Amino acid sequence: MLDSALQFARTNKQAHLTRLCDWLRIPSISTLPEHAGDVRRAAQFAADFRKEMGMTSVEIRETAGHPLVFATWNGSDRTSPTLLIYGHFDVQPTDPDHEWTIPPFEPVIEGGNLYARGASDDKGQAMAVLAALESYLKTSGELPVNVKVLLEGEEEITSTNLFPYLRQHAQELRADAILIVDQDMLDPEHPVIMWGVRGNLYLEIEVRGPAHDLHSGTFGGSVDNPINVLVRLLSKLQHGDFRKILVPHFYDKVEELTEEERDLIAQASINDQIGMHLTGAPSLGGEAGYPLAERVSVRPTLEIHGIAGGFSGEGMKTVIPSKATAKVSLRLVPHQDPEEILDSLHLFLKSHCPPTVKMDIRVLGKAHPVKIDYNSPAVRAAEVAYERGFGHKPVYLRGGGSLPIVHEMIKILSKPDHEIPIVMIGFGLPDDRTHSPNEKFSISNFHHGIETVIHYLDQFMTV
Amino acid sequence: MLDSALQFARTNKQAHLTRLCDWLRIPSISTLPEHAGDVRRAAQFAADFRKEMGMTSVEIRETAGHPLVFATWNGSDRTSPTLLIYGHFDVQPTDPDHEWTIPPFEPVIEGGNLYARGASDDKGQAMAVLAALESYLKTSGELPVNVKVLLEGEEEITSTNLFPYLRQHAQELRADAILIVDQDMLDPEHPVIMWGVRGNLYLEIEVRGPAHDLHSGTFGGSVDNPINVLVRLLSKLQHGDFRKILVPHFYDKVEELTEEERDLIAQASINDQIGMHLTGAPSLGGEAGYPLAERVSVRPTLEIHGIAGGFSGEGMKTVIPSKATAKVSLRLVPHQDPEEILDSLHLFLKSHCPPTVKMDIRVLGKAHPVKIDYNSPAVRAAEVAYERGFGHKPVYLRGGGSLPIVHEMIKILSKPDHEIPIVMIGFGLPDDRTHSPNEKFSISNFHHGIETVIHYLDQFMTV
């Protein structure tokens, strides 16, 4: 059963790649309302493939937002364990568009890589899972374990409608472990098992001053400029030299690592040289006093993702704008609570906001940080699968990104006496430029990934 | 001669308004390269009108940028004084376009006002001058004094090409005084004689970090975010509470007013209530320790006119952008030198810029501050002209805006032993929203303005 599945995967490499390219041609950008139809088309594409391969049931499920696709295979006997697999088919926006060297939704293969928006995050990785299932079903007509696959279309907009769905369908989704395939390896020889993710608090801050734009000659000196005020407020959030976040009580619940945890993270070959290479920055930055591997995974951050106000065209305009806005997020680490951080930040900014302007803070997204028991058998099974699928032992790392669903799945799908193990693996690479122009996915990682999932399903029989 | 000119102006009100509307329909936005043809059309329009009214000579003069229009009338005898009149026919951009209630280049008359981009700044005011000249020429066939009229198309982009033009044509432009008609009155009953302008230093600051946009989950903590750094740098330029500019040596050359000067400014009915009404701000701001009338005219300011970086569309994007930019200007007061301020600011920002990013500072515009002798006879003649044209005595104020040409004209056109008097008057109102959406011009001010210029030419005979 295992061997014939592996054989199928090897002889159908081109077919799997072609199918992925077809999926990537659908511009399923979940954050842009004008692409809602495309997100639905991407759902339908995944549903059609799973029907064709012979899953027991495949359904497109509606939500208040974009739909999701749920499929099951329950042909194994009742004593077989059940694995819930999660992935997503929505993608990030493509701006700045002029920096793409190819149209983002017309996949191009070059130098062993597949270039397209979503190639790595997450259609390429989700397709590796689907191709692994197909490899079993098209050869043996069955899977080694019972499987439920849930693919959503709102991961890039914090899975808002997945949460009520999970609560409403907790019984149907019951499983012995959850496999999430949506992350990077360190490099082609170092796959990663992720034993946690950072949380996130994503805000939009708006400062409004005069009722309309004013000429800075006539009115300069009479009012506070909303950009000047916004810049001053934002600058108060973070220390200029040590990059510490200055929101009161921000670090109160941040735990220091144990020696064992610190050693585990230190084993990963993440060093400044690699950081310089991957980012192209003049020199590295971030919080003082912690090594790079910890700064990007177990330490909180504050990033201004976007700022806008006034005139930014060519040339000069001597305007005092009526408003300015910024998009800001804080990455949170166990056991920081997004709600508590929000309250504290809100009070802090209010206390510094002058009466010359009005300030609004809108919450665009929230995700809890999570820490996973890396000694759970379902997690350790991934180590074997990686070794056989890639020929390399994985490293155990904490993830710097945020997957809001991880915390929600644990909360909703755990049994009262036992926290459900979450197994986080993935086949991306750090230079895949996910969320940026010219996103790519390594084609050899795609094929090794398919084999890794085939091995994981085989290993999962015994957990 | 005076009476027949006044009579002509009164019976041709509609014709003058119609001609102004035709001029306003030309979108002569000097800062946008795609409107270069429109700036030229606006020049041709002004030239045609002056030919038609019977000026001695009218020429479109080429520069390295937009053209200017020079016209003369030299029919008076050699002992008559010569007045050089300056104005401009270029306009500001129209963004944010969605805030306009009418298309900006389709003039609309409503409630005694004429709405269009450029209605007040400066086509409406320049047309008042041209209509005054026409009123003399079409009735008496002559003007009371020798007149030279110079209209340019680059005032809104700091008159870069006017400066070499002035130097090359200094002999041709020789005059006994210069009249500039491009400013606001305090309100319909308080015309203004401006005895100085603020200078300006307009910069674009760019901060570049990583070589391309990065995912803040994967890379957050590894690099300095260019927006975070830009915000921190900008916040260092100004004190949060007192709004003092913190660039070293910035205030070294700023002079305090004499008692007489302070009294002159205090006579203007500029109070906080008017400021609140005109700006619609929640409360007034600006430098601590100075009254509103001084803050907007004789004190320096720092404004961020525009800021941009990262993602500002709808929804969320967790990106660390590769760069961020801001447009910043400092209004300068006598005797601050833009070059010295630039050097100091450059050193200051460099000293605070971390090695994790690259920073560039580009100078987009520079203007020297100017102070004028308000007791000069050519200036005092404007007091009489206003009293007769508007029926109200003017107030003597310093201007908050910057007219780079004022300093240049004084430098280039003064005689070795005598500084040429600059007479700055105007017919705009503070709520005209120049440089903002829904710019307007009071139609009664337009007609009173025409009569004021007619009276000024009459008064100028005797200076």
**pLDDT tens column, B233-277:** 999 999 988 899 999 999 999 999 999 999 999 988 789 999 999
Phi, psi (rounded to 5 degrees) for B266: -65, -20
Whether A13 and A19 have beta carbons less than 8 Å apart is answered as no
Contacts of A213 in chain B (CB under 8 A): 96, 99, 433, 435-437
Report the residue of chain A nearest B299, measured CA to CA: A221
Give the number of other Cβ atoms within 10 Å of residue A390's Cβ: 22
- What part of A 376-395 touches B (C-beta under 8 Å)? none
Could you say which residues of chain A have pLDDT below 70? Answer: none
Contact between B314 and A33 using a beta-carbon 8 Å cutoff:
yes
Helix, coil or strand: residue B64: coil
Label residues B313-341 b or e (16+ Cβ within 10 Å = b): eebbbbbbbbbbbbbbbbbbbbebebeeb
* CA distance to partner chain B, nearest, from residue A270 (Å): 11
Distance of CA A236 to the CA centre of its chain: 28
CATH number of A199-254+300-366: 3.30.70.360
DSSP conformational letter for A98: G
Residue B39 has pLDDT above 90, yes or no: yes
Report the residue of chain A nearest B284, measured CA to CA: A223
Report the residue of chain B nearest A234, measured CA to CA: B231
B357/A contact by beta carbon, under 8 A: yes
Tell which of A231, A242, A366, A406 to mutate to test the B interface (max B CBs under 10 Å).
A231
Contacts of A29 in chain B (CB under 8 A): none
Q: Which is it for strands A192-197 and A370-371: parallel, antiparallel or unpaired?
A: antiparallel
Whether A206 and A408 have beta carbons less than 8 Å apart is answered as no
Helix, coil or strand: residue B276: helix
Contacts of A227 in chain B (CB under 8 A): 303-307, 326
Q: Is the dihedral of CA B1, B6, B7, B8 positive or negative?
A: positive
Contact between B320 and A305 using a beta-carbon 8 Å cutoff:
yes
Q: Is the dihedral of CA A400, A406, A411, A414 positive or negative?
A: negative
In terms of residues, how long is chain A? 463
What is chain A's percent helix, strand, coil content, to nearest 5?
35, 25, 40
Between CA B21 and CA B440 the distance in angstroms is 12
B64/A contact by beta carbon, under 8 A: no
Contact between A217 and B318 using a beta-carbon 8 Å cutoff:
no
Whether A409 and A182 have beta carbons less than 8 Å apart is answered as no
| Non-local CB neighbours of A78 within 8 Å, separated by 6+ positions | none
A258/B contact by beta carbon, under 8 A: no
Between CA B118 and CA B21 the distance in angstroms is 10
Tell me what pLDDT residue A221 has.
Answer: 96
CB-count exposure of residue B411 (10 Å: 0-12, 13-18, 19+):
middle
* CA distance to partner chain A, nearest, from residue B136 (Å): 33
Tell which of B101, B304, B328 to mutate to test the A interface (max A CBs under 10 Å).
B304
Contact between A354 and B285 using a beta-carbon 8 Å cutoff:
yes
CATH number of B2-197+369-460: 3.40.630.10
Residue with token string 């080429």: B62
* CA distance to partner chain B, nearest, from residue A10 (Å): 31
Question: Measured over all CA atoms, what is the biggest interatomic distance in chain A, rounded to whole angstroms?
Answer: 80
Closest partner residue to B400 (CB to CB) among A33, A220, A331 is A220
Report the residue of chain B nearest A293, measured CA to CA: B222
Contacts of A99 in chain B (CB under 8 A): 212-213
Please tell me whether the overall predicted TM-score, pTM, comes out greater than 0.95 for this model.
Answer: no
Tell which of B207, B278, B303 to mutate to test the A interface (max A CBs under 10 Å).
B303
Between CA B276 and CA B76 the distance in angstroms is 49
- Looking at residue A203, its amino acid is L
Between CA A368 and CA A334 the distance in angstroms is 8
Tell me what pLDDT residue B268 has.
Answer: 81
* CA distance to partner chain B, nearest, from residue A246 (Å): 13
- What part of B 419-448 touches A (C-beta under 8 Å)? 430, 433-438
Between CA A315 and CA A454 the distance in angstroms is 58
Report the residue of chain A nearest B292, measured CA to CA: A222
Contacts of B236 in chain A (CB under 8 A): 235
Contact between A331 and B220 using a beta-carbon 8 Å cutoff:
yes
Whether A294 and A331 have beta carbons less than 8 Å apart is answered as no
Between CA A41 and CA B434 the distance in angstroms is 49
DSSP conformational letter for A415: B
Contact between B31 and A184 using a beta-carbon 8 Å cutoff:
no
Tell which of B197, B213, B223 to mutate to test the A interface (max A CBs under 10 Å).
B223
Between CA A125 and CA A111 the distance in angstroms is 19
Whether B150 and B165 have beta carbons less than 8 Å apart is answered as no
Tell which of B95, B154, B216 to mutate to test the A interface (max A CBs under 10 Å).
B216
Contact between A198 and B184 using a beta-carbon 8 Å cutoff:
no
Q: How many interface pairs between A and B have CB atoms less than 8 angstroms apart?
A: 370
- What part of B 334-353 touches A (C-beta under 8 Å)? 352
Parse chain B into domains and list their residue ranges: 2-197+369-460, 199-254+300-367, 255-296
Contact between A231 and B228 using a beta-carbon 8 Å cutoff:
no
- B2-197+369-460 and B199-254+300-367 agree in CATH topology: no
Instruction: State what percent of residues in chain B have pLDDT above 90.
Output: 90
Whether A392 and A449 have beta carbons less than 8 Å apart is answered as no
Confidence of residue B82 (pLDDT cuts 50, 70, 90): very high
Between CA B320 and CA B309 the distance in angstroms is 10
Query: Which residues are B331's β-sheet partners?
Result: B200, B301
Tell me what pLDDT residue A34 has.
Answer: 96
Contact between B282 and A240 using a beta-carbon 8 Å cutoff:
no
A212/B contact by beta carbon, under 8 A: yes
Helix, coil or strand: residue B91: strand
Mean pLDDT of B337-366: 97
CA-to-CA dists, residue B87 to A125, B26, B84, B182, B412, angstroms: 65, 17, 10, 7, 17
- The least confident of B199-208, B317-326, B427-436 is B427-436
B199-254+300-367 folds as: Alpha-Beta Plaits (3.30.70)
Helix, coil or strand: residue B362: strand
Which residue in A231, A358, A302, A348 sits closest to B237, CA to CA?
A231
Interface TM-score (ipTM) > 0.90:
no
Between CA A421 and CA A373 the distance in angstroms is 7
User: To 5 degrees, how large is the angle CA B292–CA B295–CA B299?
Assistant: 160
Whether B71 and B148 have beta carbons less than 8 Å apart is answered as yes
Contact between B295 and A327 using a beta-carbon 8 Å cutoff:
no
Structure tokens at B372: 């004028």
* CA distance to partner chain B, nearest, from residue A258 (Å): 20
Tell me what pLDDT residue B159 has.
Answer: 86
Helix, coil or strand: residue A61: strand
Mean pLDDT of B174-198: 95
B291/A contact by beta carbon, under 8 A: no
Contacts of A153 in chain B (CB under 8 A): none
Between CA A355 and CA B119 the distance in angstroms is 34
Whether B433 and B422 have beta carbons less than 8 Å apart is answered as no
| Non-local CB neighbours of B146 within 8 Å, separated by 6+ positions | B72, B73, B74, B75, B76, B80, B81, B82, B83
Distance of CA A365 to the CA centre of its chain: 13
Tell me what pLDDT residue A292 has.
Answer: 96
B232/A contact by beta carbon, under 8 A: yes
**pLDDT tens column, A426-445:** 999 989 999 889 999 999 99
Tell me what pLDDT residue B4 has.
Answer: 98
Which residue in B142, B168, B204, B196 sits closest to B349, CA to CA?
B204
Whether B352 and B258 have beta carbons less than 8 Å apart is answered as no
User: To 5 degrees, how large is the angle CA B140–CA B141–CA B142?
Assistant: 90
Tell which of A95, A204, A207, A303 to mutate to test the B interface (max B CBs under 10 Å).
A303
Whether B19 and B12 have beta carbons less than 8 Å apart is answered as no
Tell me what pLDDT residue A75 has.
Answer: 83
Contact between B434 and A327 using a beta-carbon 8 Å cutoff:
no
| Non-local CB neighbours of B266 within 8 Å, separated by 6+ positions | B291, B293
Structure tokens at A357: 């302007």
Structure tokens at A316: 């000069």
Which run of H or E residues covers position B454? helix B443-460
* CA distance to partner chain B, nearest, from residue A76 (Å): 38
A303/B contact by beta carbon, under 8 A: yes
Between CA A66 and CA A153 the distance in angstroms is 6
Contacts of A283 in chain B (CB under 8 A): 355-356
Which residue in B446, B332, B365 sits closest to A318, CA to CA?
B365
Tell me what pLDDT residue A404 has.
Answer: 83
Contact between A292 and B222 using a beta-carbon 8 Å cutoff:
yes
Between CA A383 and CA A379 the distance in angstroms is 7
